[in-house]
Chains A and B, each alone.
Chain A
Amino acid sequence: MALLPYPEMDELSDDVRRYFQRFSSEHGRPSLLRWMLGWSPAASEAMEGLYHPIFASGKLDRRLKELLFVAASEQRRCFYCMGGHSRFLVNEFGYERDNVERIRRGELVDDLDPREHALVLLARKAAADGETVTADDMEQVRAHDWDDDSIVEALSAVAQAFFTNTLAQSTRLEDDIDPADGLDGYF
């Protein structure tokens, strides 16, 4: 059980209810993170301007940004964020569960391009301790033909993890998975 109660529907502002409906139209229902944020209309609105714009626009495709997000969340030990988005990668992008687990640990697997692997490694390092990221790290990523716009975009998936990991870990959000897909909880 989470450390804080979730708001009841009648406690939500009209705007937050509308955000819930929009999220539900894509994912079936609001995530527990969104639900908890429902206590704050301002934060709910901020989240509207964060997740979808970051993941659905730019040069990098959503699949890659989800990989970067789970790699960063794994590094930061956020089981809620890592698990939920790992399941998304399996269900929406056709990854094998084992490969998602290996990719997020920083391993190079068959369905991961070495160019993408370079970004995953940068994401993990930035998630562990951003101060350890060096000019050499940036050069290694550029050597894989990523430009600076793409690197900033990749780091945006990491920054997103910092935001949601903190909320999920501090409130101890529980698994909110639908077992109908056959996966045994968060992984």
Chain B
Amino acid sequence: MALIAPPSLEEVDGELRAEYESGRVRFAHLDQLRRVLMRFPAAFRAADGMYFLIMERGRLDRELKEVIFVACSGVRECRYGLAAHGGWLIEHTGLAPSEVESLARGEDLTRQSESQRALLAFARKVAGAAYRTVEQDIETLRGAGFDTPTIVEALTVVSLSGWMNGYADALGLDAAEVVGKVAP
């Protein structure tokens, strides 16, 4: 059970409730976080906006971004992040639960290209200790074909995962409640 309960929907302002309902299917994997964040509407709206903008727009495809998200959640040992985004991968890309578990353990997937593996290794390093990033890490990514805008885009995914993991851990969100859950 979460350390802070979500408000009952009856307590929530009608406009906010409508926003929640409109994103309920799209963000089903994040339902528990969204419900608790309704206690602070600015954070609720920021969450919906950030997920859409960072995860669904840009150069990198959504599947790779979700893979990065799961890998970073694995580094931080955030069970809610693993369950939510691993669940999304299983439901939307056909990834097997065992593959999500592999990602969470720091392993690569056979379906990934060499360049994707390089990006994933970088994301894991940043998620674990961002301050240890060095010039060589950037050079490795450039050698794998990534330009500056794409590297920045990948970093925003790592940062977003940190944002969500930070909330989930501090609020004690329950991985078992995640829709489409996987065993973390």
Seen from chain A, the residues whose Cβ lies within 8 Å of a Cβ on chain B are 3-5, 36-37, 39-40, 42-43, 45-46, 49-50, 53-54, 57-58, 77-78, 126-127, 129-131, 133-135, 138, 148-149, 151-153, 155-156, 158-167, 169-172
Contact = CB atoms under 8 A, between A and B. Distances in A.
11 contacts: A39-B153, A40-B153, A49-B45, A50-B50, A126-B166, A138-B4, A159-B164, A159-B167, A162-B162, A167-B159, A169-B133
A166 B45 contact: no
Contacts of B155: 166-167, 170-171
B36 interface: yes
B168 to A, nearest CB: 7
Counting from the closest, the 4 A-B pairs by CB-CB distance are: A130-B169, A169-B130, A126-B170, A162-B166
Contacts of A161: 166
Contacts of B170: 126, 130, 133, 155, 158-159
B176 interface: no
A46 B54 contact: yes
Candidate in A5, A130, A169 with the most chain B CB atoms within 10 angstroms = A130
A163 B130 contact: no
Interface of B: 3-5, 36-37, 39-43, 45-46, 49-50, 53-54, 57-58, 77, 126-127, 130-131, 133-135, 137-138, 148-149, 151-153, 155-156, 158-160, 162-172
B153 A46 contact: no
Contacts of B41: 57
A162 B134 CA distance: 20
B5 A3 contact: no
Contacts of A152: 4, 36-37, 39-40, 43, 171
Nearest to B160: A163
Contacts of A158: 166, 170
